Amino acid sequence: MNELAENIKSEADARALVDAVAEMFADHLPPSWVTGGIRERIAHAEYEAVSDPFRQIPEQRLADVWNKYVREIGASEEAIVTVAEIHNMRDAFFAYGQSLWSRGAGGNAWTMPNIYAVGADGKVAEGCRAVEALRILYDLDRIFDNLRGARERLRKGIVFSDVLQKSRENKNPNENRKFRLTGAAIDNPLWIAERPYVNEHGADHLHLLVEMLSEELFPANQ
């Protein structure tokens, strides 16, 4: 999948990547994701972001869509995300994944570096690729402690890619251990809100909400 993400030359290539991701999460996706419509829209957005940096998905749009979801299901204000927090998360995920894969140290689907939009400076761009955006949304929902980690880094003025670069220059590998992907926390505010939302409205209603928001994130005219 990482190799697919690095070599997208057409919408067909992008669709192959999207299908591979969907296959990995087949047991957890709502029924609508089995159909071709949503996947085609995501694949189109992925190809557009790869072929033209100006067509990348703005971090603000990603934040807006996520925050609509948070408010609709009645999650706490803690779950509201800012653009700066999203960018800090992306920076950390990309730098961490790139470091792992370059050293052949346990690279996997969660740490693939080639799904990220990267700028001329070698760091994550201001906009996102489509599959990358889905990875961030999944993380916000399922591994909320990683957002808490980004907030802590922002509070301290830490950019993980800079820390990693300094550790390389100082040849101090212990610096790499300052960041890690965490497991889902028991006090995840999304889980606390999603369960009563489903009990009140039904799982189909939640799936419809997710589908509607996906159309905002990946508009047909993207």
* 28 part of a folded domain: no
Which domain covers residue 103, as residue numbers? 57-217
Helix ranges (H only) for 81-144 are: 83-103, 130-142
25 part of a folded domain: no
Residue 158 lies in a domain: yes
Inside any domain, residue 33: no
Indicate whether 209 belongs to any domain: yes
Q: Distance between CA 83 and CA 220 in Å, rounded?
A: 23
- Measured distance CA(71)–CA(76) in Å, rounded: 8
* Domain count of the fold of the chain: 1
Indicate the pLDDT class of residue 176, thresholds 50, 70 and 90: very low
Reported as a pLDDT band with limits 50, 70 and 90, residue 23 is confident
Q: Is residue 19 part of a domain?
A: no
Band (pLDDT 50/70/90 cuts) for residue 104 is confident
Residue 167 pLDDT? 82
pLDDT of residue 35: 66
Burial class (CB in 10 A: 0-12, 13-18, 19+), 154: middle
Q: Is residue 10 part of a domain?
A: no
3-state secondary structure (DSSP) of residue 155: helix
The reply to whether 181 falls in a domain is: yes
